[in-house]
Structure 1
Amino acid sequence: MKAGSGIPVWIVALLAALCLIVLAWTTFGFVVPFKHETGQAVLDTYFAGYDESAVFHMQKLLDENETATKLLRAMYFGPELIFPALLTALLFFVFVALGPVGSWFGRSAHPLVAKAIYLLPFIYGIADYAENISSLIAFGDGASTHLATHLLPWMTRLKFASLAICVIVIARLAIARWLSPRED
């Protein structure tokens, strides 16, 4: 099986390193201090999801704690502006580097399936930005707070579900590539 693109490995490695740096910035610069300040984790880190009652609880917590509100806003206007784009690019480049979709499954795939597979990283990126925007609105004072409160748990679920699907597809493809006979 041949590599799928001319994307150099160093570009993928650089994107992975940048993702780790920004993730560390988010974690140690905002998530940990937020937990220290409030005793509660940022909703963005609830991998299993949460419901509207958690959003209402967070709204109450932020109304009572100005420092936590500033930390959360700084996180969304800092590392959370660039992390989804970096991770989306990394996931997409990994998909491209793994080769054409037909080689992934051992047969030629329908063109729509191929396009859908390549869209998975972008679904993650859009969902992550939508979650961030919903958080800013839900924890603000705007007229759309109620709608954002209802959308926020769904955006988080969509973000983590699409990310999980990307990781599973990448793992499957990497294993298939590793197990396949090498062509010289």
Structure 2
Amino acid sequence: MKAGSGLPLWIIALLAALCLAVLAWTTFGFVVPFKHETGQAVLDTYFAGYDESAVFHMQKLLDENETAAKLLNAMYFGPELIFPALLTALLFLVLLRLGPVGSWFGRSLHPLIVKAVYLLPFIYGISDYGENIASLIAFGDSPSADLAAQLLPWMTRLKFASLVISFIVLARLAIGRWLSPSRD
């Protein structure tokens, strides 16, 4: 029996549906209203990344716009509190469902590389929560706001890098499994 083949597909489908629902809640409940209120996107949505100056600009914007600050705070204590955990679980379970990582790369991989692949979803989840915490600190009245503002762009880059690498690995594994002559 292959690793993960005993994992019911309905669990993965349920997690995917929950992820989409929470993503829709985030988008339509907070991101779109924030953009409407400020004319600027939430920093969490900058896929290409941003620098410290964007964080300082956002701090100034939030200091001047109480409604936007409340929206952002509610987003971090609402959907952003559960979305990283849901997506981490989904990515990890899909990896488990696809089976052993080393067997579809056409060669045997070093065990540390295999472990690193299985850790990718958790790196994403930890960095997403880290980004959320850094945002709350950077956009609050904390004495550590400047340090959090410096860390925030790096946390966002780590989040998106680990997410993209996870998707690439999952696509590669899915294609390898589909092309494998011994697929079920």
Question: Do Structure 1 and Structure 2 share a fold, with TM-score over 0.5?
Answer: yes
Instruction: Provide runs of 4+ in structure 1 moved above 3 Å.
Output: none
Deviations 1:94-117 (A, max 9, x none): 111110122121333222121111
Which residue matches 1:4?
3
Percentage of pairs with the same residue: 81
Over 3 Å counting, the alpha-carbon distance change for 1:183 and 1:97 in structure 2 is closer
Map residues 30-179 of structure 1 onto 2, 5 A cutoff: 30-179=30-179
Deviations 1:83-104 (A, max 9, x none): 0000000000011111012212
User: Residues of 1 paired with 2:2 and 2:128: CA distance?
Assistant: 29
| Cα pair 1:88 1:122 within 8 Å, conserved | yes
Report deviation, 1:4: 2.6
User: Residues of 1 paired with 2:183 and 2:165: CA distance?
Assistant: 29
Give, as a single letter, the amino acid of the residue that structure 1 aligns with 2:110. H
| Cα pair 1:138 1:144 within 8 Å, conserved | yes
Give, as a single letter, the amino acid of the residue that structure 1 aligns with 2:136. L
| Cα pair 2:91 2:121 within 8 Å, conserved | yes
User: Residues of 1 paired with 2:104 and 2:30: CA distance?
Assistant: 39
Deviations 1:130-156 (A, max 9, x none): 000000000001110010000000000
| Cα pair 1:101 1:108 within 8 Å, conserved | no
- TM-score of the superposition, structure 1-length normalised? 0.96
Deviations 1:11-34 (A, max 9, x none): 000000000000000000000000
Report deviation, 1:81: 0.3
User: Residues of 1 paired with 2:183 and 2:64: CA distance?
Assistant: 63
Report deviation, 1:183: 5.0
- TM-score of the superposition, structure 2-length normalised? 0.96
Gaps of 5+ in 2: none
Q: Secondary structure at the match of 1:140?
A: coil
Relative to structure 2, which stretch is displaced further, 170-179 or 126-135? 170-179
